[in-house]
Amino acid sequence: MDGDFGLRIDYGGYADFYSDLDEYNVLDQSMTVEPQWRIDSFVCSLPIRYNYAVQDGEADYHQFSISPTITFKIPNVNNAVEVYGILAGTNDVDEFTDFDEDSHSRGVGVG
């Protein structure tokens, strides 16, 4: 963060490959864009994340999440307090039809 505005962009990847159980091979990728604003001792940010997972070479799910965050930087020490919320939705797109794994979740936290 330089000045009162910052932007963080992350890419993450996870892979799990098996020699005998290749139907359980997983490739999960995520992309996050997080604009940040500084207001006095507070940093407000809005991470927006997209996940895409593949299992056994086929699309498994898409997931979107947003997590508004306020961080208070405690003056004169190297500590901070953070309050955040999260809203997420998962769209299950695999062809396993016995049950639907779509989901919506929400939560709050303090760190």
pLDDT for the residue numbered 1: 66
pTM: 0.80
Report DSSP state, residue 24.
Answer: G
pLDDT for the residue numbered 68: 97
Cβ-proximal residues to 2 (8 Å cutoff; 6+ apart), any chain: none
pLDDT for the residue numbered 13: 96
pLDDT for the residue numbered 92: 87
pLDDT tens-digit series, residues 11-56: 999 999 988 887 888 999 999 999 999 998 899 999 999 999 998 8
Q: Give dist(CA 43, CA 36) in Å, integer.
A: 7
pLDDT exceeds cutoff 80 at 100: no
pLDDT exceeds cutoff 90 at 58: no
pLDDT for the residue numbered 41: 87
30: buried, middle or exposed (CB in 10 Å: 19+, 13-18, 0-12)?
A: middle
pLDDT tens-digit series, residues 68-88: 999 999 988 889 999 999 999
pLDDT for the residue numbered 31: 97
